[in-house]
Homo-oligomer: A and B are copies of this chain.
Amino acid sequence: MKILVVDDEELIREVVKEYLQFDGFLVDEASNGEEAVELALQNDYNLIIMDIMMPKKDGYQAVKEIRKIKDVPVLMLSARGEEFDKLFGFDLGVDDYVTKPFSPKELVARVKAIIKRNEKSGTKLEFGGLVLDDKAHEVSIDGKVINLTPKEYDLLKYFVSNNHIALSREQLLTNIWGYDFYGDDRTVDTHVKTLRHQLGKYGQYIKTVRKVGYKFEF
């Protein structure tokens, strides 16, 4: 678990670093935006803690540049009472932020929360007893792993990650089969059929939307 701490005040960096290391994180430091960008692109951090006001390149700018290349979680530090609007106006997709002065304990708690959130999100999608573990590329029902064919898996994954959204056959074909699929629309139907069957009692959560296509609804 590697974290990059970016702040121009050495004291803050040191304190934060100490607390994080105590909890078993590996910590790198940067004292301005430029350094931060450089380090972030070279290494794979699980999280970047970034101050806003810094010399050379401010936190917004740095996050913007990093995010262009890498999708790494960011926690922003800001002086109390200022900059909130900017933080939300810019849609940087910041994961959290903490206002100075902060308690190191709180910071660490938030860091853990973010990391936990991001770990989970990439990998497991749960709907009651239906679990799709994307990392393991595996689906289980009530704890029992079921064997899906590749297409079935892709289809299910697309369905569950678009819960409550009606998807047209065309949409499904272009997103799962690829834009260059020239076959029959109705091939989707067949796969939905087999997938429903495979999912047993969870099959009912794939609903047909007449004249449109299908949707997953849990």
Contacts and interface: CB of A to CB of B under 8 A. Distances in A.
Contact of A215 (B88, B112, B120, B136): B136
A145 B24 CA distance: 48
Contact of A84 (B87, B106, B209, B212): B106
Contacts of A211: 150
Given A150-B210, A210-B150, A137 B109 contact: no
A85 interface: yes
A215 B136 CA distance: 8
A206 to B, nearest CB: 14
A136 B99 contact: no
Nearest to A117: B93
Contact of A217 (B136, B149, B209, B217): B136
Interface string A203-217: 000000111100101
Interface residues of A, number: 32
Contact of A135 (B116, B137, B166): B166
Contacts of A215: 136-137
A41 interface: no
A211 B105 CA distance: 47
Interface string A17-52: 000000000000000000000000000000000000
